Amino acid sequence: MRRTFLIASAAAAVFAAMPALAQQKTVKIGFISTFSGPVAAMGNDMRNSFELALDHMGRKMGGLPVEVIYEDDTFKPEVGKQKTEKLIESDKVDFLTGYIWSNVLLASVKPALDSKTFLISANAGPHQLAGEGCSPYFFSTSWQNDQTPQAMGLYMNQKGVKTVFLIGPNYAAGKDMLAGVAATFKGKVIGQELTKWPDQLDFSAELAKAKDAKPDAIFVFYPGAAGAQFLNQYSQSGLKGQIPLYTAFTIDELTLPRQKDTALGVPGAQQWVNDLPNETNKKFVSDYRKKHPGLSPTFYGAQSYDAANLIASAVAATKGNLSDKAAVQKAMEKADFKSVRGNFKYGNNHFPIQNFYLQEAVKDQEGNYALKTVATIVENDQDRFHDKCPMK
């Protein structure tokens, strides 16, 4: 009698524990970006692109339905962190993605990694996470912050620029960007100004200092609305035509309509441009334009589209068994999906090894502005921090 009872209770206990071992019912993804304030357009671009990717895959990953929860970091690190924790603890997501801002990402990464939740950054790439802070659970579908400005530095060398004046915002990514240019630029950095971020939108003081220093060129990094402001003030200050401007992440499909003529002739470096000739990209860009008339996707969106596909590839490869973290990690490291930038491999620190292109703004006869690929600056570029990462 007692033995039957014991066996029965053991069986009951096993059945009670079953849900933990059972297969996933859905794939839950938490998406953190900025959906309010002047940079909401970037967050919307990422959301639109992520949704488009889900549409393209029939809203199923590895046969499982997908649920996405979007949260707004309101452009603040502590809010991004709070929302990340909520997604992990309350919504119990399987993956986290999004993250435009490096400071928001750095604040949010600890709860994710502590809880072994995979975090795929679709934009921010602070050097801390590429070097000693790398983690098996962190992946990037964008770039490491320094890579893009490094490419610009190489391009400036090609153009024979001897002296440069650097201007950027004083936060994690801004510092990375300016350091990136300095890393590859062979000439002399004759001045550097870091501005207060995100409040300072008046760059007259910095432009005045740049003018004073008389450099061959000015390099600038100002994402989002600040980019539009900077270019306007650059031309208002009379520098346009006098001192050439080189940029990273300052001119994109969202800011170009506001920058208009001020963006013409200003080169930028990017790992993705909307006219890259591969099939996946053509479909992405044209379907995006169809679904959102009047809009074109930016690199933020392109990276989010890739993030969706990266996650899908991992879910499919592990047949939905997401509790086997090691298997998920291995699957993701393969980057076995078609990226809109053309296929790439992952470095040991889970950052892409990829090409960087030169993009320029052009105006056609009807007065429409567009960004075009002008040249390839560097191929299969890997970030310079991967040696410091202890992972093999």
Partner 1 sequence: MTLFIEQCLNGLQFGLLLFLLAAGLTLVFGIMDLVNLAHGSLYMLGAYFAATFAAWTGSFVFAAVLALAATLVVGMAVEIIAMRRLYGRDHLDHVLATFGLILFFDELVRLIWGPSGMSLPLPSWLNTSVRVLPGIDYSAYKLSIIIVSLAVAVFLYFLVMRTRIGMLIRAGASNREMVGALGVNIKLLFTLVFGLGAALAGLAGLMQAPILTVQIGMGENILILAFVITVIGGIGSIRGAFVAAILVGLIDTLGRAYFTDLLRLAFTKETAATAAPALSSMLIYLLMAIVLVIKPEGLFSASGK
Partner 2 sequence: MSGWLSPRNIVTVTLLLALVLLPVYVELTGSRFLLTLFTRIIILAMAAVSLNLILGYGGMMSFGHAAYLGIGGYAVGMLAFEGVSSGFVQWPVALLVSALFALLIGALSLRTRGVYFIMITLAFAQMTYYIVAGLARYGGDDGLTIQDRSKFFAPVNLSNKMQFYYICLTLLFASIYLVWRIVNSRFGMVIQGARSNDTRMRAIGFPTYRYKLTCFVIAGTLCGLAGALLANHTDFVSPAMMYWTRSGDLIIMVVLGGMGSIFGPLFGAVALLILEEVLSGITEYWQIILGPLLLLVVLFGRGGIDGLLGKVRHG
Instruction: Summarize as ranges the residues that interact with partner 1 (CB under 8 A).
Output: 35-38, 40-41, 170, 175, 192-196, 199-202, 204-205, 208-209, 212, 225, 228-229, 232-233, 236-238, 258
Which one of 59, 110, 345, 363 is in contact with partner 2 (CB under 8 A)? 110
The C-alpha torsion from 208 through 214 and 219 to 225, rounded to 10°, is: 20
- The Cα 263–Cα 279 span in angstroms is 28
Measured CA to CA, the distance from residue 365 to residue 235 in angstroms comes to 23
| 25 binds partner 2, rule: CB under 8 A | no
307 contacts partner 2 (rule: CB under 8 A): no
- Please state the closest distance from residue 105 (CB atom) to partner 2, in A: 10
Binders of partner 2 in range 81-100 (CB under 8 A): 81-82, 85-86, 89-90
Decide: is 172 part of the binding site for partner 2 (CB under 8 A): yes
Of 151, 341, 358, nearest to 268 (Cα)? 358
Of 68, 38, 42, 40, whose CA–CA distance to 297 is shortest?
Answer: 42
CB of residue 175 to partner 2, shortest distance in Å: 9
Q: Smallest gap, in angstroms, from Cβ of residue 243 to partner 2?
A: 29
Q: Name the residue nearer to partner 2 (CB basis): 133 or 267.
A: 133
Q: Which two tokens stand for residue 238?
A: 């009379």
* Smallest separation, CB 358 to partner 2 (Å): 30
SS (H, E, C) 284-338: HHHHHHHHCCCCCCCHHHHHHHHHHHHHHHHHHHCCCCCCCHHHHHHHHHCCCCC
Cis peptide before 352 (omega within 30 of 0): no
One of 41, 66, 106, 210 touching partner 2 (CB under 8 A): 106
**Tokens 């993804």 identify what position?**
29
Closer to partner 2 by CB, 200 or 232: give it. 200
* Helix/strand/coil for 212: helix
For the chain, the farthest-separated pair of C-alpha atoms sits apart, in whole angstroms, at: 96
Check binding of 240 to partner 2 (CB under 8 A): no
Q: Which is nearer to partner 2, 201 or 370 (CB)?
A: 201
Counting contacts by CB under 8 A, is residue 132 touching partner 2?
no
Q: Is 312 in the site for partner 2 (CB under 8 A)?
A: no
Strand residue runs (E) in the chain: 27-33, 60-61, 64-72, 95-98, 118-121, 138-140, 163-169, 188-195, 217-220, 245-248, 268-270, 345-346, 352-363, 369-381
Instruction: Give the SS3 label for residue 105.
Output: helix
The option from partner 1, partner 2, none interacting with 106 (CB < 5 to 8 A, set by class) reads partner 2
Interface stretch with partner 2, choices 101-109, 236-244, 293-301, 365-373 (CB under 8 A): 101-109
Residues 183-202, interacting with partner 2 (CB under 8 A): 197
Cβ of residue 120: shortest distance to partner 2, in angstroms? Answer: 20
Q: Which is nearer to partner 2, 86 or 258 (CB)?
A: 86
Choose between 157 and 232: whose C-beta lies nearer to partner 1.
Answer: 232
Task: Choose the one of partner 1, partner 2, none that binds residue 258, judging by a C-beta under 5 to 8 angstroms depending on kind.
Answer: partner 1
Q: How many beta carbons lie within 10 A of that of residue 342, not counting itself?
A: 15
User: How far lies 367's CA from each of 248, 252, 268, 321, in Å?
Assistant: 24, 17, 21, 52
Of the candidate residues 155, 171, 185, 219, the single one contacting partner 2 (CB under 8 A): 171
Nearest-approach distance from CB 195 to partner 1, in angstroms? 8
One residue of 60, 76, 209, 292 binding partner 2 per CB under 8 A: 76
φ/ψ region of 58 (left if φ > 0, alpha if ψ in -120 to 50, else beta) reads left
Tell me the two tokens of residue 114.
């502590």
Tell me which stretch binds partner 2 (CB under 8 A): 7-15, 21-29, 109-117, 134-142: 109-117
Give me the residues that bind partner 2 (CB under 8 A), please: 76-78, 81-82, 85-86, 89-90, 103, 106-107, 109-111, 170-172, 197
